[in-house]
A and B are shown apart, each in its own frame.
Chain A
Amino acid sequence: MNLNHFQAMLLFAFAISVAFAFLTKRRLEERVKYALWAFLAFLLVAVAVGWLMYPISR
């Protein structure tokens, strides 16, 4: 099996976001909102950190 960086990040963010939503929230609506928020936050932070490291990448 081989995944590129982005696919691995998507899978990781999805699994963790859903699990965290179920761990921390009790109502379905709250869980969906939290999972979406956490998933997007994972992606945004990863892309932002990637760009922050860009100047020192070479």
Chain B
Amino acid sequence: MVEPKQREKQNAPNGRARLAVGVAIAGWFVPGLGHLLLRKWGRAVVYFLAVGTLAVVGLALRGNTFSASWDAFDMLGFLADLGAGVFYFVSKFIENAGPDVSRAAGDYGTRFFATAGVLNLLCVLDAHEIARRRKA
């Protein structure tokens, strides 16, 4: 028969794994939220500002955001953009005029937004590892 304390110890890794997945999803949807849930205030603010600045400036420069497509490059762009979480979903409302990549600034904007997405994915991994206690 398994003692309650022993059962608790056995279940702990599962609980941590579930928490880590929840934290990762929250951190993906709102940059920094994963760290906020883990009470890592400083990192949460820095990641939100870094990802948010890149995403908003990218859109203000009238960069392009990609939609799901079977074209390999479009798909890569879409996955990178999707990494920015909520910023991707509200991108149409942040810059009403839409993309304009005929100017260099518009092209920079496209890269800024994709970088915001990839950077947020790195932050999500960081939050996940902290929740799994593999990282401080």
* Residue with the greatest number of chain B CB neighbours at <10 A, chosen from A15, A16, A18: A15
B122 within 8 A of A: yes
Knowing A5-B104, A16-B115, A26-B136, say if A11 contacts B57 (CB, 8 Å): yes
Whether B46 pairs with A22 at a CB distance below 8 angstroms is yes
How many A residues face the partner with a CB closer than 8 A?
14
Q: Does A2 belong to the interface (CB within 8 Å)?
A: yes
Contact A19:B46 (CB < 8 A) given known A2-B105, A12-B112, A26-B136: yes
Instruction: Please judge, given known A-B contacts A1-B61, A2-B61, A12-B54, whether A23 and B123 are in contact too, CB under 8 Å.
Output: yes
A residues contacting B by CB (< 8 A) are 1-3, 5, 8, 11-12, 15-16, 18-19, 22-23, 26
